[in-house]
Chains A and B, each alone.
Chain A
Amino acid sequence: MTDVRTSGWVVIKTEECKGCGLCILACPAGCLSFAPEFNHQGYHPITYSGEGCRADGLCFYACPEPGAITVYKGEAHER
């Protein structure tokens, strides 16, 4: 999974996520989906596969929860 993160990666704070799915709609790479499990608020939070992610930040801009999605730019090894 880490191999494909050539331009950056995304970190989801699942406890902040309200499961609206806007980031799924916004993501051109299709690397976001709903997790089957619930978070503590009872929502299915977003889960990130990383497959094809270009760290374009569209998920960040679409997300209505400040702090739920962080997009890191750079090589995966910098992590």
Chain B
Amino acid sequence: MSAEPVATPGRRARPRLMKGNAAAIHGALLAGCRSYYGYPITPASELAETAARLFPACGGTFLQAESEVAAINMLYGASSAGERTMTGSSSPGVSLMMEGVSYAAGSELPIVVVDIMRGGPGLGNIGPEQGDYFQVVKGGGHGCYRNLVLAPASAQEMADLTALAFELADRYRNPVFVLADGFIGQMMEPVALPMEVTRPPSRPWAVLGTPATRANLVSSIYLVHEVLENHVRRLQAKYEQASRREVRYEEIGLDDAEIVLVGYGIVSRVLRRSIRLLRASGIRAGLLRPITLWPFPSHEIRELAARAKRILVVELSTGQMVEDVQLAAGERCPVAFYGRQGGMVPSAEEIVEQVRGLLRAVPGKEVRHVEAVA
């Protein structure tokens, strides 16, 4: 694992059983966030439910907006006024928010958005999916900006990574997403919360209604072309710095792995078991779990590709993150993909079969896409 640890150090309370969604809200409050604006949507409803209960109790604000569009623009206002602020939604709701995210990136506003991905496109269904990778990791809104994206794989990480999201949002003055699938949001697990509440850093650029901040202006408009170019280049420099410093990932059994499995969120939990099954049958498999989807652990994948026989990317989509893995691996190693969609989650045994199929393939054969089972 690189960069700083995922979890903040320090004393932790006794673990409590809670849903991933509830854990994210607890993590936010402990990170000093005191305002939540949002609109409930399955399977993310417990974000709003828990926030409605806890934010006012902690002296903060919870407001159910009239729509997701309204909510994201309330974040814009709250963040401009110096607040640590957040919203949460699921895929269709996040689609609605993307314009506001672009504005926040352009105005360099720290905001945190939790996306509990569900089946799509359109209304889809309320089962778990990972089809928002493109919209959240690759942009979604217009213009040359990036979101920092964290991908939790447990209820504990829902709390820890949401807290980290606030730190990163302030560090880079940029939107940060916590991107989880419906499974991680809905699943109940023991969560040990930190005992200390983080004090948010001061924001000298914010508009606080004081004489000192009277001249501050929060805006994303730069009408003079060369001024906007300079602004965009400055944002770009910020993103380059983030991609050098903030890559986080977890690896299991990669030292001697001939087959490398790559997956995030709930998929990584299935892959852990696949690896145990594969190793028990004499196949040296390992797991790379990206914790940051942007910045992506491209450097690590490039190195792995130089010594692995095959890389298999597994996603709850028709193949989105696999493009980043292929880009990183290049010609060094064939990258295969296996995906399920629509709320279906592959079993460990299903993935073991895919790996066996891959290893039977002729060495040096071109990238082989494995058909998803209906």
A18 touches B42 (CB 8 A): yes
Tally of A-B Cβ pairs under 8 angstroms: 19
The closest CB in chain A to the CB of B45 belongs to A66
A61 touches B188 (CB 8 A): yes
A65 touches B45 (CB 8 A): yes
Q: Does B102 have its Cβ within 8 Å of any Cβ on chain A?
A: no
- Binary flags per residue of B31-59, CB closer than 8 Å to A gives 1, else 0: 00000000010110110010000000000
Q: Does B190 have its Cβ within 8 Å of any Cβ on chain A?
A: no
Q: Label chain A's interface by main secondary structure.
A: loop
| Given A18-B126, A20-B126, A66 and B49 contact (CB-CB distance below 8 Å) | yes
A66 touches B46 (CB 8 A): yes
A residues in contact with B188, CB < 8 Å: 61
A residues in contact with B182, CB < 8 Å: 64
Bin chain A's interface residue count: under 10
Q: Does B67 have its Cβ within 8 Å of any Cβ on chain A?
A: no
Cα(A18)–Cα(B45), bound, Å: 13
Q: Does B320 have its Cβ within 8 Å of any Cβ on chain A?
A: no
Cα(A20)–Cα(B45), bound, Å: 15
The closest CB in chain A to the CB of B116 belongs to A64
B49 touches A64 (CB 8 A): no
Bin chain B's interface residue count: 10 to 19
Could you list 19 examples of A-B contacts with CB < 8 Å? A18-B42, A18-B126, A20-B42, A20-B125, A20-B126, A20-B127, A61-B188, A64-B42, A64-B43, A64-B45, A64-B126, A64-B182, A64-B186, A65-B42, A65-B45, A66-B40, A66-B45, A66-B46, A66-B49
The closest CB in chain A to the CB of B118 belongs to A64
B residues in contact with A18, CB < 8 Å: 42, 126
Q: Which of A20, A65, A66 has the most CB of B within 10 A?
A: A66
Chain B, 242-279, CB within 8 A of any chain A CB:
none
- Enumerate the 6 nearest inter-chain pairs by beta-carbon distance, A residue then B residue, closest first: A64-B43, A66-B49, A64-B42, A66-B45, A20-B126, A64-B186
The closest CB in chain B to the CB of A62 belongs to B186
The closest CB in chain A to the CB of B128 belongs to A64
Chain A, 17-34, CB within 8 A of any chain B CB:
18, 20
The closest CB in chain A to the CB of B185 belongs to A64
A residues in contact with B46, CB < 8 Å: 66
Cα(A45)–Cα(B43), bound, Å: 17
Cα(A61)–Cα(B49), bound, Å: 15
Cα(A48)–Cα(B45), bound, Å: 23
Smallest CB separation, A77 vs chain B (Å): 31
Smallest CB separation, B118 vs chain A (Å): 9
A residues in contact with B125, CB < 8 Å: 20
- Binary flags per residue of A50-76, CB closer than 8 Å to B gives 1, else 0: 000000000001001110000000000
Smallest CB separation, A39 vs chain B (Å): 14
- Binary flags per residue of B149-191, CB closer than 8 Å to A gives 1, else 0: 0000000000000000000000000000000001000101000
The closest CB in chain A to the CB of B46 belongs to A66
The closest CB in chain B to the CB of A66 belongs to B49
Cα(A64)–Cα(B117), bound, Å: 13
- Binary flags per residue of B181-203, CB closer than 8 Å to A gives 1, else 0: 01000101000000000000000
B residues in contact with A66, CB < 8 Å: 40, 45-46, 49
Cα(A66)–Cα(B43), bound, Å: 10
Cα(A20)–Cα(B40), bound, Å: 17
B residues in contact with A65, CB < 8 Å: 42, 45
B residues in contact with A20, CB < 8 Å: 42, 125-127
Smallest CB separation, A32 vs chain B (Å): 17
A residues in contact with B43, CB < 8 Å: 64
Cα(A18)–Cα(B127), bound, Å: 11
Cα(A64)–Cα(B188), bound, Å: 11
Cα(A40)–Cα(B42), bound, Å: 17
Cα(A64)–Cα(B127), bound, Å: 10
Cα(A38)–Cα(B229), bound, Å: 55
Cα(A6)–Cα(B134), bound, Å: 51
- Binary flags per residue of B321-365, CB closer than 8 Å to A gives 1, else 0: 000000000000000000000000000000000000000000000
B residues in contact with A61, CB < 8 Å: 188
A residues in contact with B49, CB < 8 Å: 66
The closest CB in chain A to the CB of B48 belongs to A66
